[in-house]
Amino acid sequence: DGGITQSPKYLFRKEGQNVTLSCEQNLNHDAMYWYRQDPGQGLRLIYYSQIVNDFQKGDIAEGYSVSREKKESFPLTVTSAQKNPTAFYLCASSIDPWDRGGNQPQHFGDGTRLSIL
């Protein structure tokens, strides 16, 4: 079945440690996104990528890094510079919105909960 797979489901980070969240999709989608969700807040965009080997900062990119070496994969690294990393992280993908006139919904993985030890 096609879908988006995030791993791990739960992740614990020690002070000063970098951790990487995995996101893989087999939907053949061009665009991929990383969001962060905090209690009582909407999803906030961290990074997005519209095509392989290219990505753009979202609204809250500081303390995070990404790569897009393959179409199917868009890993997110939460670096030690991110001082408040505890959140629910969601990866999403969509068909390139510019291919189809823009009305393309995003489909989400089931998320990774990151906490600080």
Q: Which of 53, 98, 99, 115 binds other proteins (CB under 8 A)?
A: 98
> How many residues interact with other proteins (rule CB under 8 A)?
26
Is the sign of the CA dihedral 114, 55, 93, 72 positive or negative?
negative
Of the pair 79, 104, the CB lying nearest other proteins is at 104
- We find the least distance from the C-beta atom of residue 59 to other proteins, in angstroms, to be 9
* H or E segment to which residue 12 belongs: strand 10-13
- We find the least distance from the C-beta atom of residue 26 to other proteins, in angstroms, to be 17
77 counts as binding other proteins under rule CB under 8 A: no
> What are the distances in angstroms from CA 115 to CA 32, 52, 83, 100, 105?
23, 30, 12, 38, 29
Site string for other proteins, 27-56 (x = CB under 8 A): ----x-x-x----xxxx-x--x-x-----x
**DSSP secondary structure code for residue 113 in this structure:** E
